[in-house]
Copies of this chain bind each other. A is one copy, B any other.
Amino acid sequence: MTPHTPRTTPHTDALTVEVVELVGTVVARYHEEYEEAAAKHSLTGAQARVLALLAREAMPMRRIAQKLKCEPSNVTGIVDRLEGRGLVERRPDPDDRRVKLAAVTEDGRETAGRLRASLNFAREPLAGLSTEERTTLRDLLRRMLGETP
């Protein structure tokens, strides 16, 4: 199975394919560790994401849906379960009685903190890289993401 030289697409050279594969592996491992860290606090991945989001800033349900890129009706259930555990609460928006602001409780903030602390991925691995290498990696990732400062 020797790879042929690409003809039609310029994206299939061996080096690019290898980088794509490595990125796929990083994605898989990141997810794995994220779910694992969430489970350690009896949370699902989606719940952990929402909790982390709200720990930064309270926001209306609709905005959570935008951040998660899902339907608002889905967020209802996730926040319901977080609220059921006392990690999050719904508060009315004083400026618009239609919206409900989801905000972490004291408990929720603490859980979010512990969650973040137990998220080891890309920290332990990164420890093997020198400051210079990490800077290079940062710049390359930035450019991959289209951020051109």
Mark A residues whose CB is within 8 Å of B: 3, 9-11, 15-16, 18-20, 22-27, 29-32, 69, 117, 120-129, 131, 133-138, 140-146
Contacts and interface: CB of A to CB of B under 8 A. Distances in A.
Number of copies of this chain that the complex holds: 2
Which 5 A-B residue pairs are closest in the complex by CB-CB distance? A11-B123, A22-B141, A125-B144, A20-B122, A23-B122
A142 B22 contact: yes
B131 A144 contact: no
Contacts of A10: 127
Given A15-B135, A32-B69, A143 B123 contact: no
B29 A134 contact: no
A126 B31 contact: no
A69 to B, nearest CB: 7
Interface centre among A9, A131, A133, A137 (most CB of B within 10 A): A137
